[in-house]
Amino acid sequence: MNILDQIFEGGIVGCGGAGFPTHVKLNTQVEYFIVNAAECEPLLRTDRYTMKHRAHDIIDAVEAIGDQLMARKKVIALKGHYHDEIACLEAAISAKNSDVELFFLENFYPAGDEQIMVYEVTGRVIPPAGIPSAVNAVVSNVGTVAAIYDAMHGIPLTQKIITVTGEVNVPTIVSAPVGTPIQEVIDQGDPIPRRYTVILGGPLMGRRVGMDDISKEYVTKTSSGVIVLDEDSHLSGRRNTSIETMLRMAKSACIQCTFCTELCTRHMLGHPLMPHKIMRKLAYNSDVESILEDNDVKQALICSECGVCEEYACPMGLQPRRINKMLKTVYGQMKIRYQREERDEWVANEAREGRKVPSKRIAARMGVDQFYDYVINDCVEVEPREVCISTRMHIGAPAKPVVSVGDMVRKGTLIAAVGRDQMGANIHASIDGTVTYVDDSRIVIERN
């Protein structure tokens, strides 16, 4: 079986993002294979834990993936201050006499953004709304690379490494089967507040979930972090602002200082996104529909939703990112896609180097810097009594269940499948047990 078949069989999807099926992404040839090991968001430690504990596996997998891609350069990009992780990777590279290179990034946010990482490593700007292959590169998260190593050895993706941090007594790494109730993951950290909110993912791009909704959340193939925050904290309150209030604030309080554009991470790459202009057009027009045809407003489609504009740049506490997100939803409903101006080459803004936002500074602005320097080395295993596994953990078609209620399954048994030619990913049982519920969207397994 070749490596793409092994990856397909193992149900591997991008662990650092939206769950793009990896066998599709790697079915190409490029000059650069870049491993994203920058742990983009402050507070998370998942990638660092993986690098420290699986350096040899990672180097083996990078070699194999590089061969598949016929890549001339295989680069692991990580932050220069990850001293322990660098030592582990360098030891593995040396032991294997490998030509995998390490690239050291400064500690800025969002260093792990795919487009920014490609620019840092190659000096090439991916065109707006483009993908890395446009500049002869493919990027995979280091967690995905570790999962590919497992798939190369017949082990499907069923277990996740997750950082639990924030207002907890025990910041920790949790190893949990896919489908584990998020509450059981949170409990490993021992939350301090009586009422709390969690951010699933990192503090900037993660999804806020209120305490009353946590019971509906389960570990997925893309889970990477859970941040516990007091229900009354600045960050959880800010994420709670309604769209109507946010729009009203945008209309009345934007002072057109342009800071959101000057620090916009896409604008700094030379892309034509200028959030202050979108805010201005909103202020001068009574309804959103009336500005949708405007070319400046359409640039919202290339917003990465990194959050620098609203969490760091804006002195008025406005939320250009949320406005862009709302506009993207409206454009999506109208089936309007981004039309790129054609150019031979895109060039980053000259001011970019001086406008990188230090990770700790943005964490401080968000009121989470007290968790920034946590040392998290220990890993606890969670063994849930029951798992609820979604069939939609990836981009593309949902996987179709291939088990029925009453079936006995072992960890690694295929429980939902997609066709080899389909955009999608197979799904496997994450514990030994009995299937107790099946529908198109989820499969529940109770531990024997």
| Residue number, 156 or 307, with CB nearest to ligand SF4 | 307
The residue from 70, 91, 255, 408 that contacts ligand SF4 (CB under 6 A) is 255
Q: Is 376 in the site for ligand SF4 (CB under 6 A)?
A: no
Position 362 contacts ligand SF4 (CB under 6 A) = no
* Among the listed residues 9, 159, 148, the one whose alpha carbon sits nearest the alpha carbon of residue 65: 148
Question: Is the CB of 158 or the CB of 324 nearer to ligand SF4?
Answer: 324
Closest contact distance (angstroms) between CB of 108 and ligand SF4 is 13
The answer to whether residues 11 and 156 touch, using CB atoms and an 8 Å cutoff, is yes
316 binds ligand SF4 (CB under 6 A): yes
Instruction: Tell me the longest C-alpha to C-alpha distance in the chain.
Output: 64
User: Least distance (Å) from ligand SF4 to the CB of residue 368?
Assistant: 18
* Among 92-100, 184-192, 207-215, 249-257, the segment contacting ligand SF4 (CB under 6 A): 249-257
Cα 430 to Cα 424: distance, rounded to the nearest angstrom = 18
Question: Which of 183, 150, 192, 161 lies closest to 58, judged by CA?
Answer: 150
Report the residue number, 315 or 419, with the smaller CB distance to ligand SF4.
315
Contact pattern from residue 320 through residue 339 relative to ligand SF4, giving x for each residue in contact according to CB under 6 A and a dash for the rest: xx--x---------------
Burial class (CB in 10 A: 0-12, 13-18, 19+), 386: middle
Q: Verify binding: residue 126, ligand SF4, rule CB under 6 A.
A: no
* Residue-wise DSSP of 260-277: HHHT-TTGGGT-S--HHH
Nearer to ligand SF4, 321 or 394 (CB): 321
147, 309, 362, 409: residue in contact with ligand SF4 (rule CB under 6 A)? 309
Report the residue number, 244 or 344, with the smaller CB distance to ligand SF4: 244
Give residue 71's identity as a one-letter amino acid code: A
43 binds ligand SF4 (CB under 6 A): no
Q: Is 389 in the site for ligand SF4 (CB under 6 A)?
A: no
Instruction: Pick out residues in 221-240 that bind ligand SF4 (CB under 6 A).
Output: none
CB nearer to ligand SF4: pick between 281 and 360? 281
41 φ/ψ angles, rounded to the nearest 5 degrees: -85, 140
65: contact with ligand SF4 by CB under 6 A:
no
| Residue closer to ligand SF4 (CB basis): 214 or 297 | 297
- Enclosing H/E stretch for 34: strand 32-36
Q: Are 182 and 226 in contact (CB under 8 A)?
A: yes
Cis bond before residue 358 (omega within 30° of 0):
no
Q: Does 422 bind ligand SF4 (CB under 6 A)?
A: no
**What is the distance between the alpha carbons of residues 144 and 418, in angstroms, rounded to a whole number?**
19
Looking at residue 198, its amino acid is V
In the complex, the smallest distance separating the C-beta of residue 315 from ligand SF4, rounded to whole angstroms, is 6
Q: What is the number of other CB atoms lying within 10 angstroms of the CB of residue 70?
A: 11
Residue 317 beta carbon to ligand SF4: minimum distance, rounded to whole angstroms = 8
Q: Measured from the CB of residue 303, what is the shortest distance to ligand SF4 in angstroms?
A: 3
Q: Determine the size of the site formed for ligand SF4 (CB under 6 A).
A: 28
| Strand stretches in 53-204, DSSP E | 73-79, 101-105, 108-109, 137-141, 159-166, 172-177, 196-200
DSSP character at residue 38: S
**In this complex, which beta carbon is closest to ligand SF4, that of residue 77 or of residue 254?**
254
Nearest 5°: phi and psi at 133? Answer: -65, -20
Q: Figure out which of the listed residues 258, 285, 349, 434 binds ligand SF4, where binding follows CB under 6 A.
A: 258
- Residue 349 as a binder of ligand SF4 (CB under 6 A): the answer is no
Counting contacts by CB under 6 A, is residue 356 touching ligand SF4? no
Residues 261 to 280 in contact with ligand SF4, rule: CB under 6 A: 264-266, 273, 275-276, 279
Contact 171, 376 (CB under 8 A): yes
CB hemisphere CA count around 114 (13 angstroms): 24
Which one, 74 or 276, has the nearer CB to ligand SF4? Answer: 276
Contact window for ligand SF4 (CB under 6 A) among 19-27, 161-169, 257-265, 418-426: 257-265
Where are the extended beta strands (E) located within 80-238? 101-105, 108-109, 137-141, 159-166, 172-177, 196-200, 207-209, 225-230
Q: What minimum distance in Å lies between the beta carbon of 299 and ligand SF4?
A: 9
Of 13, 100, 306, 417, the residue at the interface with ligand SF4 (CB under 6 A) is 306
CB nearer ligand SF4, residue 205 or residue 211: 205
**Distance of alpha carbon 249 from alpha carbon 258, whole angstroms:** 16
| Residue ranges that bind ligand SF4, judged by CB under 6 A | 254-260, 264-266, 273, 275-276, 279, 303-309, 313-314, 316, 318, 320-321, 324
